[in-house]
Amino acid sequence: MNIVLFGPPGAGKGTQASLLVQRLDMFQISTGDLFRENIKNKTNLGLEAKGFLDNGALVPDSVTVSMVENVLVNFKSKKFILDGFPRNLNQANVLEQMLVKLNLKLGKAIFLKAPYNALMRRLTGRRVCKNCGAVFHVDFSPPKKAGICDKCGQATLYQRDDDKESVIGNRLKTYEESTLPLVEYYRKTGIYGEIDGTEDVEIVFEKIRQLIS
């Protein structure tokens, strides 16, 4: 069953998508990965996307949709997970038309919900080692000694600008304005499912598995 996995930043979409790939042999289509891959390979779409990203602007829907279509047009085997796409109603409508054209269909659109405070705690608690790149979290996976990396032993843990409260607040606001309307959109299609993303990772995975089995 092909699925859309959506929800706010920090709800656990990437974690669950990875588990679905490992355990159910699904194929993850992540717009973030597509951006990085196309930019690395210097495709026309990648160069176009890079121009917007370098200027701090959102990549236009037309570019994002074209990247996704380039993957789906050759898709013949595994069931796929759309992770991070669609992000708004326009993308959802275009996706529906694309799937009809390619003779594909969605089985479920699964929303991982989480309250604002939980999202802020998850997203602002991340700490990264400047020396080796190891990632920690002040609450969920803290280093043995505050500020010191367990892997390289250097006192180089810091909070990235992208993980600061003001930036996260803007990301969540953008999500509420553009992505949250997808809840009602998919409710009307009859394929909507909702799961509490704040529960234990294994519990969330099992609920997703039951929805798509």
Query: Which residues belong to the active site?
Result: 13, 87, 126, 160, 171
Neighbouring residues of 153: CB distance < 8 A, sequence distance ≥ 6:
none
Q: Edge-to-edge, what's the strand order for the sheet holding 126-129?
A: 135-137, 126-129, 157-158
Q: How many CB atoms lie within 10 A of CB 114?
A: 19
- The type of residue at 38 is N
What is d(CA 138, CA 63) in angstroms, rounded to the nearest whole number?
37
Distances (CA, A) of 63 to 100, 143, 162: 20, 40, 23
